[in-house]
Amino acid sequence: MSGLAKSPARRDPPFLVAGLIAVAVAYLALVVFLPLVIVFVEALRKGVGDYLAGIGDAEALSAIKLTLLVAAIAVPLNTIFGLAAAWCVTKFDFKGKNLLVTLIDLPFSISPVISGLIYVLLYGANGWFGPWLQEHNIQIIFSVTGIVLATTLVTLPFVARELIPLMQAQGSDEEAAATTLGANGLRTFFLITLPNVKWALMYGVLLSTARAMGEFGAVSVVSGKIRGLTATMPLQVEILYNEYNFVAAFAVASLLALFALVTLAVKTLLEARFSDELAAQRWR
């Protein structure tokens, strides 16, 4: 990238360079850094003791557990889905393929609140299946099940989105070669396809985990926000904030922010080291 700037044709006047860099840095500082810094400042406002108390609180701990549980269900589900969807979209030609790809992307453009709403319309007390569920004593909305459903929908495209362009570009020559060499479908998939997409798969899993743990809108519609039971970390942040328990709210928020920072770091690392295996370019 530094080579780009070398051509005299690309040299901008120094005052312009300095000005633009200043504008960009200031904008990033205002829009991105300041909110991040505030989270930690507020969390530690009353000292480390209060901070640790906020995190160690029983409700906070159960929120952390619930959040991890939900992610641990939603992300593997979407990973299996992403692999299956990418397999049929990229290795086969069939009618309606473009429509299928559009559908897979659709959850990205639906408001999270609507993503929660549609499950309430189905399984809520007044939902289509509400009466039947009540009869059989099954609770979906205002329970962990509902949170898992909403979180799964919100994070549904991530893995598939990372895999499809890459597998498209890779084509299916290697799979065809494995088949002519006598490998069966499972052997081909696990020994050839999966190793070829492993970094993109990890990338997708990373992004969907981050989103699953941080999802707020969809989850807040279906959860009922029962403290200690159906409150995920982001919901716990809201509950505490609305009770003016700011230090505790920011303490829980700081954990989420830390996780976001780790996500960014891993993401940056993956992009730097495996850019060709993430984007659709290869040495061939």
Partner 1 sequence: MSLEITGITKSYGRFPALDDVSLLAEDGEFLALLGPSGSGKTTLLRVIAGLEIADGGAIHFSGEDLLATPVRQRRIGFVFQHYALFKHMTVTQNIAFGMKSKHRRERPSKAAISAKVEELLSLVQLDGLGGRYPSQLSGGQRQRVALARALAIEPKILLLDEPFGALDAKVRRGLRRWLRELHERTGLTTIFVTHDQEEALELADRVALLKDGKVEQIGTPEELYHDPASAFVFDFLGDSFQFPCEVKDGKALIAGQEVPILGSSPHVDGPATAYVRPDGFVVGAPDGPGFQARIRDVLLAGTDARLDCVLDDDGSIEVRVPHAIAEKLAPRNRISLAPREVRVWG
Partner 2 sequence: MSPAKRSWRFVEPSALPGFGPALGLTMAYLSFFLLVPLAALVLRPWEHGADHVFAVVSAERTLDALRLSFGAAFFAACVNAVFGTIVAWVLVRYDFPGKRILDAFVDLPFALPTAVAGIALVTIYAPNGPIGSIIEPMGLKVAYTPLGVMVALVFVGFPFVVRAIQPVLEEVQIDVEEAAATLGANRFRTISQVIFPAVLPSLLMGFSLALARAVGEYGSVTFIAGNQQNVSEIAPLLIIIHLEEFDYAGAAAIGLAMLLISIVMLFGLNLIQAKVAGRGER
Cα 248-253-258 angle, rounded to 5 deg: 130
d(CA 163, CA 68) in angstroms, rounded, equals 24
Q: Find, among 151, 138, 124, the residue nearest to 219 by Cα.
A: 151
- Residue type present at position 150: A
Number of residues binding to partner 1, judged by CB under 8 A? 19
Q: Using CB under 8 A, which of 234, 248, 251, 278 touches partner 2?
A: 234
Contact residues for 140 (Cβ-Cβ < 8 A; gap 6+): 119, 123, 133, 146, 149
Cα–Cα distances in angstroms (integers) from residue 27 to residues 12, 18, 142, 198, 261, in the given order? 21, 14, 40, 36, 19
Pick from partner 2, partner 1, none: which does 174 bind, CB < 5 to 8 A by kind? Answer: partner 1
What per-residue string of b and e applies to 231-247 under the rule 16 or more CB within 10 Å gives b? bbbbbbbbbbeeeeebb
CB of 179 to partner 1, least distance (A): 5
Pick from partner 2, partner 1, none: which does 98 bind, CB < 5 to 8 A by kind? Answer: none
Q: Using CB under 8 A, which of 185, 190, 275, 282 touches partner 2?
A: 185
Q: Find, among 167, 169, 166, 191, the residue nearest to 178 by Cα.
A: 191
CB of 206 to partner 1, least distance (A): 20
CB of 272 to partner 2, least distance (A): 9
Residues 160-199 that bind partner 1 (CB under 8 A): 173-174, 176-184, 187, 191-192, 195-196
Nearer to partner 2, 7 or 137 (CB): 7
d(CA 235, CA 213) in angstroms, rounded, equals 11
Pick from partner 2, partner 1, none: which does 238 bind, CB < 5 to 8 A by kind? Answer: partner 2
Using CB under 8 A as the binding rule, whether residue 38 contacts partner 2 is answered as yes
CB of 195 to partner 1, least distance (A): 4
Using CB under 8 A as the binding rule, whether residue 284 contacts partner 1 is answered as yes
CB of 175 to partner 1, least distance (A): 9
Q: Cβ(222)–Cβ(116) under 8 Å?
A: yes
CB of 125 to partner 2, least distance (A): 7
Number of Cα atoms under 13 Å in the Cβ half of residue 12: 9
Using CB under 8 A as the binding rule, whether residue 149 contacts partner 2 is answered as yes
Pick from partner 1, partner 2, none: which does 283 bind, CB < 5 to 8 A by kind? Answer: partner 1
Q: Cβ(142)–Cβ(224) under 8 Å?
A: yes
Pick from partner 1, partner 2, none: which does 265 bind, CB < 5 to 8 A by kind? Answer: partner 2
Using CB under 8 A as the binding rule, whether residue 177 contacts partner 2 is answered as no
Using CB under 8 A as the binding rule, whether residue 93 contacts partner 2 is answered as yes
Cα 224-226-227 angle, rounded to 5 deg: 145
Residues that bind partner 1 (CB under 8 A): 173-174, 176-184, 187, 191-192, 195-196, 282-284
